[in-house]
Amino acid sequence: QVQLVQSGAEMKKPGASVKVSCKASGYTFSDYYIHWLRQAPGQGPEWLGYINPKSGGTSYAQRFQGRVIVTRDTSIRTVYMDLSRLRSDDTAVYYCARRGPTFDYWGQGTLVAVSS
């Protein structure tokens, strides 16, 4: 069965960077784009960007351009999301999701808490 398993919760100080991983299994890794989204407490999800696992090509939401980088390691079927210059309002649960016609499978989520 399709599974996306993310790394564990992180606590960071303002200005730091965080790297979250997402390991895929149960399907052909190169066939589906992997997207990153986040959800702040009490709010709807917000799209950050995606990667094409086959080519490594990426696209990011304009408001995160220059702060987010998504990479992949095809040998271990894992995608990474790196967010830099963290602020307190980056505190959220970060999700990876597979894109079929839509976001059909999601990871379990990774809490990133930013506080001084």
Partner 1 sequence: QSALTQPPSASGSPGQSVTISCTGSSNDVGGYNYVSWYQQYPGKAPKLIIHEVDKRPSGVPDRFSGSKSGNTASLTVSGLQAEDEADYYCSSHGGSSNFALFGGGTKVTVL
Q: Does 95 bind partner 1 (CB under 8 A)?
A: yes
Residue 94 tokens, joined = 């970060």
Query: Which positions from 75 to 94 touch partner 1 by CB under 8 A, shown as an x/- string?
Result: --------------------
**50, 70 contact by CB (below 8 A):** yes
Q: Does 106 bind partner 1 (CB under 8 A)?
A: yes
C-beta of 17 vs 59, nearer to partner 1: 59
Rg (Cα) of the chain, in Å, rounded? 13
Backbone region of residue 42 per phi and psi (left: phi > 0; alpha: psi in -120 to 50; beta: other values): left
| Nearest approach, Cβ of residue 35 and partner 1 (Å) | 7
Residue 73 tokens, joined = 């390691």
Which residue bears the tokens 């960071």?
Answer: 12
Hey, what amino acid is at 40?
A: A
Stretch that binds partner 1, among 18-26, 43-51, 67-75, 81-89 (CB under 8 A): 43-51
C-beta of 72 vs 98, nearer to partner 1: 98
| Greatest alpha-carbon span in the chain | 41
Stretch that binds partner 1, among 13-21, 45-53, 68-76, 80-88 (CB under 8 A): 45-53
| Nearest approach, Cβ of residue 80 and partner 1 (Å) | 19
